[in-house]
Amino acid sequence: FFFLFSSRRRHTRYISVTGVQTCALPISVINTEGTVVYMNRKGCEILGYERDELINSRFDLLIPENIRGKMHTIFQKIIRGETTPPEYHENELLRKNGDIRLISFHSSIIRNIDGTISGILFSGEDITDRRMSENKLAESEKQLNIVVESAIDAIVMINSAGNITLWNKAAEKMFGYSAEEIVGKSILDAMIPVKYR
């Protein structure tokens, strides 16, 4: 996507090329005053706002109160040219209904022809549901590890290549190998006598 901009009469005009408005990722532009000057359809959908409600509003509207001060400080440093925005970062945004969404951002500084900073372009992805799934999976794995490690039976897990991926305390006791010694090794090489391989 591209943005065309001009700095006539101390304000910047952004024109989206066909496809940006209907892009599947949220895209927005914030000017040096911290005002939202562009938000595509996906961004509005994620945040629960009509486009007219967001355009010309302060971006603070979208930042949860507990991190608003920190985000404002970072924004001011970027606009003053004291730091550059991280190429990738994750940040919570506040929806109109008060819900919080976790967004992964890619951001770029927009400059005028004379090199002065005129705003920041953000594109991103709503990763809220994915992160919740990852957290649930991590919790399930943690619970599984507790069960496996407290089992009185030896539990050994191998992958499709025949390499050991899990070796519990009971397996250590039964076979004499620590998990550090054997995880990642072939079960055939580590445990099966040559004549039976």
Q: What is the pLDDT of residue 20?
A: 55
Over residues 63-106, the pLDDT tens digits come to 999 999 999 999 999 999 898 888 888 999 999 999 999 999 88
Cα–Cα separations (whole angstroms), residue 65 to 104, 119, 158:
19, 22, 48
d(CA 92, CA 11): 29
CA 69 to each of CA 78, 100, 146, 152: distance values in angstroms, whole numbers, following the listed order:
14, 17, 40, 52
Q: What is the reported pTM?
A: 0.63
Nearest to 14 by CA among 25, 23, 24, 2: 2
Region 161-171: what's the mean pLDDT?
A: 93
**What's the pLDDT band for 162 if we cut at 50, 70, 90?**
very high
* pLDDT of 19: 53
User: 94-113: b or e for each residue (b if 16 or more CB lie within 10 Å)?
Assistant: beeeeeebbbbbbbeebeee
The residues with which 123 forms a beta bridge, in sequence order, are 27, 106
Helix, strand, coil tally for the chain in percent (to 5): 40, 30, 35
Determine the pLDDT at residue 17: 46
Q: What pLDDT is stored for residue 21 in this prediction?
A: 59
CB-count burial class (<10 Å; 0-12, 13-18, 19+) for 158: middle
CB 192 within 8 A of CB 164: no
